[in-house]
Amino acid sequence: DGGITQSPKYLFRKEGQNVTLSCEQNLNHDAMYWYRQDPGQGLRLIYYSQIVNDFQKGDIAEGYSVSREKKESFPLTVTSAQKNPTAFYLCASSRPGGQWNGYTFGSGTRLTVV
Amino acid sequence: QKEVEQNSGPLSVPEGAIASLNCTYSDRGSQSFFWYRQYSGKSPELIMFIYSNGDKEDGRFTAQLNKASQYVSLLIRDSQPSDSATYLCAVNPAGNNRKLIWGLGTSLAVNP
């Protein structure tokens, strides 16, 4: 079955460390997105990519970086510059053209700073 | 700034009742509207979407759009305890290139 796979499910980061969250999809979707969710703050867009080798900053890109070298993959790196990285991170994808039915989400990665 | 607003709740209904959730949006040119359900600790899952041309019914769920007043509603008939979750409304404003604007969600509790 097609879907979006995020790994790991849980991740612990030490102060000053960079960590990379994986997101892979086999839905043949062109667009991919990274969101952060904190209690009471809803979904906030970090980065998005609508085509391979191209991506744009979302509303809260500071302290994060991404790459889009393959259509299927959109990894997110949380750098040491991100001062409050503890959150639930969600990757989503969206199909191109035609009648649009919104985003498909992965199961999420819960990142905790220790 | 384009916005989507929802009452945070909690909305509490007895089992078997109709749950009515509402969402208002600021961009009058919005084209498509989405309702996602999110269980605690899980990722959002799409349950309904409608376009600006009409309402939609799918099983126990009905999504309705009021363009004049700029709100979209989700009705859940015969509510079940398994419907207890947070419901997120998302809107695709005109010219936003399929970048959704999200509400903060309404928490629904269905009591047995």
**Rounded to the nearest 5°, which phi and psi values hold at A36?**
-120, 140
pLDDT in tens, A64-85: 999 999 999 999 999 999 989 9
pLDDT in tens, B48-101: 999 988 899 999 999 999 999 999 999 999 999 999 999 999 999 887 778 899
Q: Where are the beta strands (DSSP E) in chain A?
A: 4-7, 10-13, 19-25, 31-38, 42-51, 54-57, 64-66, 76-78, 87-94, 104-105, 109-113
User: Distance between CA atoms of B109 and A79, rounded to whole angstroms?
Assistant: 38
- A43 in reach of chain B (CB within 8 A): yes
pLDDT at B4: 96
Q: Which of residues 58-87 of B touch A (CB under 8 A)?
A: none
- A42 in reach of chain B (CB within 8 A): yes
Q: Is the pLDDT of residue A97 over 70?
A: no
Mean pLDDT of A26-43: 92
pLDDT at A27: 93
Mean of pLDDT over chain A: 93
Partner residue opposite A90 with nearest CB, options B34, B43, B98: B43
Mean pLDDT of A16-23: 95
How many A×B Cβ pairs under 8 Å?
40
User: Distance between CA atoms of A59 and A7, rounded to whole angstroms?
Assistant: 23
pLDDT at B52: 85
- Asked if residues B51 and B63 have their Cβ atoms less than 8 Å apart, the reply is no
pLDDT at A36: 97
User: Distance between CA atoms of A99 and A21, rounded to whole angstroms?
Assistant: 30
Mean pLDDT of A15-26: 95
pLDDT at A98: 65
A92 to chain B, minimum CA–CA distance in Å?
Answer: 10
- CA-based nearest residue to B3, from B96, B93, B95, B97: B93
pLDDT at B96: 75
- B45 in reach of chain A (CB within 8 A): yes
CA distances from A53 to A16, A28, A45, A61, A113 (A): 28, 16, 19, 17, 30
Higher pLDDT, A97 or B43: B43
Cβ–Cβ gap B46/A101 under 8 Å: yes
Cβ–Cβ gap A102/B99 under 8 Å: no
- Residue at token pair 């062109």: A30
- B49 in reach of chain A (CB within 8 A): yes
Q: Is the pLDDT of residue A1 over 80?
A: no
Cβ–Cβ gap B104/A40 under 8 Å: yes
pLDDT in tens, B16-27: 999 999 999 999
Count the neighbouring beta carbons within 10 Å of the beta carbon of residue A69. Answer: 10
Residue of A nearest to B91 (CA): A102
Mean pLDDT of B5-30: 95
- A47 in reach of chain B (CB within 8 A): no
pLDDT at B98: 81
Q: One-letter amino acid identity for A8?
A: P
pLDDT at A7: 96
| Six-digit token string for B98 | 């399929």
Mean pLDDT of A22-43: 93
